[in-house]
Amino acid sequence: MTIYLDIVWLLNFGIDYLLLTLTALALKRNYLKRRVVLAALFASLIVFFMFTPLATILFQAWAKLLYSAAIILIAFGFRRWSYFLKNLFMFYFVTFVVGGGLFALHYFWQTETELLAGLVISTTTGFGSTFSWIFVILGIPTVWYFSRQQIQQITFRKLDYTKLAQVFIQIDNIIIETRGLIDSGNQLQDPITRFPVIILEASLLKAHFPDITVKQLLNWENIRKEERDEFIEKRFTVIPYQAVGKTMGILAALKPDIVKVEYEQQLFITKKVFIGINERSLSTTGDYHCIVHPNILLGKATGKELA
């Protein structure tokens, strides 16, 4: 059997990189791409070790564990034991998920591709059948993509919607700071850009902008385009929505420069968001003044984070 080592190594490197990024996504970890690339490079070296006397050692369970630990340390570093162990166990979990998906596809298509100890090779003679390599090259990203989607859904369901988040909305040089409720029922998105919409009480705008600006925003239907304030015209849009049991409505919205959401000691920053303006109070007790779209918390966090 002939094995094209360079092709096998390159494929293995790509697989390791995808697994590490999926691990970071599942745990919402901050990571540097260069560190993940280095970790994937280190992980893919096992291809060459398999053809050295070290192969017998690397097939030992303790050696595999140490090798995996080194990969995780390179990719995410070490902060505390709980942080490290979560990274390591999640790495194994996503590996089993992706490997299981390939295993299922393998039996479905009856290919000759084998995934063994992180090393992808063709069990046919020579370079391998065209179909088997197409299966590997297309199958792994496909399984990775669907695994990524499912992990996002799991993360979405795990969010604690009873907790409040601190929200910072920047529009020009003005920063609006308030508490927001993370509401799973808020699935409002701009139909064109698909950006999520945060619903904000109009009273918060009145504290930072002239009354005429806020009035024009709330009564946009009665204001001709040429009569609108320059500030509104530059950032204004409308978002169609439909409440339960009600007809279709239109919500006035603004495009902020940036939005920051602090939740569970993590900071989520996005520019891809709209601020919908609600004239009425959102909380009868005044505990919060905006409703945060949960998709904002599915993005990559920056800043301080817990293990």
**For all residues of the chain together, what is the average pLDDT?**
77
Report percent pLDDT > 70 for the chain. 69
Compute CA distances 300 → 36, 89, 95, 268, 291, whole Å.
Answer: 15, 20, 21, 7, 20
Closest C-alpha among 180, 156, 160 to residue 169:
180
305: tokens are 């984070």
pLDDT for position 244: 55
pLDDT for position 108: 54
Bridge partners, 275 (sequence order): 198, 254
Across residues 281-287, what is the average pLDDT? 84
Which residue ranges form the domains of the chain, and what is each CATH number?
5-158 (no CATH), 164-302 (2.40.70)
Contact (Cβ atoms closer than 8 angstroms) between residue 273 and residue 292: no
Q: Which residue has the tokens 């600006």?
A: 213
The pTM of the full predicted model, rounded to 2 decimals, is: 0.51
Helices (H) and strands (E) counted in the chain, each on its own, are 10, 12
Confidence bin at 183 (pLDDT 50/70/90): confident
Residue-wise pLDDT for 84-108, tens only, equals 998 898 888 888 877 666 655 555 5
Residue-wise pLDDT for 252-270, tens only, equals 899 999 999 998 888 999 9
Residue-wise pLDDT for 111-154, tens only, equals 444 444 344 444 444 344 444 555 556 666 766 676 666 665 55
Across residues 178-190, what is the average pLDDT? 86
CB atoms near residue 263 (< 10 Å): 20
Residue 279 has pLDDT above 50, yes or no: yes
Active site residues: 183
Compute CA distances 274 → 175, 199, 222, 299, whole Å.
Answer: 15, 9, 22, 16
Residue-wise pLDDT for 205-259, tens only, equals 888 888 888 887 888 776 666 566 676 778 888 888 876 556 678 888 999 999 9
